[in-house]
Chains A and B, each alone.
Chain A
Amino acid sequence: MRWRWSLCLTAVLIPLAQLQAQDLNFDLSSYARKTYQFNGFVELNLDHQVIAPDSYATRLLFLNSAVPNTVTEKSAAVELTGDFKHERWHAWATYHGEAYDSELASDQSGTFYEALLAYQPDPAMTLELGKKAIKWGKGYAWNPIGFVERPKNPDDPELAREGYVLASADLIKSYNGDLKTLAFTPVYLPVRSSVNSDYGLSGHDNVAFKLYALYKDTDFDLAYLSEGSRSHRFGLDFSKNLDTNFEIHGEWAYIDALTRQLVSSTGSIRSETTTASQWLLGLRYLTQNDTTIIAEYYRNGGGYTPEEMQSFFSAVDFATTTSNTTLLNALAVVGTKSYLVRNPGRDYLYLRLSNKEPFDWLYFTPAITLIANAQDKSYSLSPELLYTGYQNLELRFKATILQGDKYTEFGEKRNDQRYELRVRYYF
């Protein structure tokens, strides 16, 4: 009998040993550089919103239709990146397509986020032509010096964004000493009726640049945008590690002429052009129990004060009371462009706590994010749970609760609560 047990044990142990040995193999040929490469992801989303029936955003959005209690949107998205490299030439393109369906609307769309040709004569110089998503600034949730990019969504700052058609260069110089790196990035961004038309005024050739320096272990950027489709503006940023677990950053931008639309409580609409400075201070701190804290204070110079927001909401009241549908429609348009956009206020606080793998739950990352309008004390609070334990699969559940008094930014959003489930598969 003993030999049978030995045989059984051997039969179990040998494959185990082989498995172990096989597991410790690393076949490098699978990772050889290819001329062509494709990768991307597909995702499915379920988004359930509890509508705030009495909010001003709801009233303007549902001017001509009944207000639902809830809206559930099912959507799917695909993002595909193709990459081709030949000697000093490199070309790549990222296509983003999405389709959604809800009680309110159904639609599908697709566009190239990026499509770019790059030539790199040597590592210190790169020339690029095509559509590119340039991202400037050190802020996590906001970027005042993001002069040549579409704005970030502070609710999900890591989402890919569509770029603009442009020509740019990257010139890098390294040094020994306190100044370690200097890099210069000039950008040419034309705006015509058929190219970059949503960037600003058409018919302008816009020039921007960024000068980067790594000096005494601190990142510095100086950014500039010439007068053209948008007004002349310039800014600075910095970022530095104060300790092995503590980083601070800041950003400041000065805008020569910022046009704001203002609405009086009786509904008269006027434009005002002013100078504005926008700045941000932030930190990233890692605690001993592996909790990452990101905190930012953002001063949106040119944003609306609580009194200006209240004026707008009072105008909606006035138009409703007097049954002035022409004014209501006009306010809906102004609201969509200015008062009801993402973060239209003047002072914001962003706080995000995320704990990597708490309670020994490997690949679980719970997080909670607070975005508060510091002047009117309204806020959105979003707990979320991310799981990345399955190979190539990412699951995220996120709930958002919006709170605020009457006439406040988050108190007058179209929803009170929001629940999102996202399943993303990478390939």
Chain B
Amino acid sequence: MRSVHLYILSGCLMLFAGYVNAVENGDAILKKVDRNLQPESYEMYRKLVNVEPSGARKEFVLYTVKKGKDKMVALFLDPPSDKGRSTLRDGDNMWLYIPNVGKPLRITSLQSVVGGVFNNSDILRLDYHTEYHVVSMDSSGKEYLLILKANSKSVAYDTLKMWVDKKQLVPTRIEAFAASGLLIKTLHYSKIKDFGGGLVRPSVLTTDSPLYKGYESIMLFAKIKQRNFPDEVFTLNYLPRVESLR
């Protein structure tokens, strides 16, 4: 009888060790995924395209700079109606600066300054491992499947299912869920491109959502380059002057 108990106990321990190992590996993979997508501090140019079911589209061009774990600014370069607008993120805080309004307004991560499927947290996205931790990993398929849980309630999506290419260690697909289990949106990464400086990653991110049937939002990445900025760039007072960084 004692030996049966021992078997069960060692089985449980092995399972637990396997779980811990998978989570540790998963966290390590997630960190690699983040570094393969972009350096920790960088400047980047992106185009956002919102496509309606009719085929009509609206485009936005953004210049983005990021520093460390959680400081980020995005400046609108196009269209002319939005030119000069900028959004700042410092941790969980987000602000929008509109030149005419002339002072930064606090915004929330679930709002969208561009309309369409992308919300503010998609546009000012931090590293995945900053906002999420791995709760399980399945490596049995062609790709790793990571289940990520938000580190706090202030993160826009409660849970992410992330499929990761085993060779490139970049995501191919991410499903974002609300705390209720509702699928909010699906992100598809595609078109691997060499951005220079050793950065080889997808250059297109397509997003669709069951909440916006027939609509699609696409993010095109044109330039991602490692660059360091002083902390003062990521402050409200600097928002009207972000253009001077280019």
Contacts and interface: CB of A to CB of B under 8 A. Distances in A.
B140 interface: no
Interface residues of B, number: 66
B100 A158 contact: yes
Interface stretch (B9-17, B32-40, B87-95): B87-95
Given A31-B45, A136-B103, A137-B103, A244 B232 contact: no
Contacts of B155: 244
A219 B111 CA distance: 20
Contacts of B235: 172, 174, 181, 183, 214
A244 B153 contact: yes
B204 A24 contact: yes
A116 B233 CA distance: 21
Contact of A389 (B56, B191, B233): B56
Given A158-B98, A214-B93, A389-B56, A135 B103 contact: yes
B218 interface: yes
Contact of B101 (A24, A126, A135, A244): A135
B222 interface: yes
Contacts of A272: none
Dominant secondary structure at the B interface: mixed
Given A24-B204, A28-B223, A135-B101, A217 B91 contact: yes
Interface stretch (A101-109, A199-207, A319-327, A354-362): A354-362
Interface string B142-162: 000000000001111000000
A81 to B, nearest CB: 8
14 contacts: A120-B244, A122-B230, A134-B102, A137-B103, A181-B235, A183-B235, A243-B108, A244-B154, A245-B108, A284-B108, A362-B215, A391-B58, A391-B59, A426-B80
Interface of B: 45, 47, 49-50, 52, 56, 58-59, 61, 63, 77-81, 83-84, 90-94, 98, 100-103, 105-112, 115-116, 153-156, 191, 204, 212-215, 218, 220-223, 229-238, 241, 243-244, 246
Interface of A: 23-26, 28, 31, 33, 39, 41, 85, 90, 118, 120, 122-124, 126, 133-137, 140, 157-161, 170, 172-174, 180-181, 183, 185, 212, 214, 217, 219, 239-241, 243-247, 249, 284, 286, 292, 356-357, 360, 362-363, 388-389, 391-392, 394, 424, 426-427
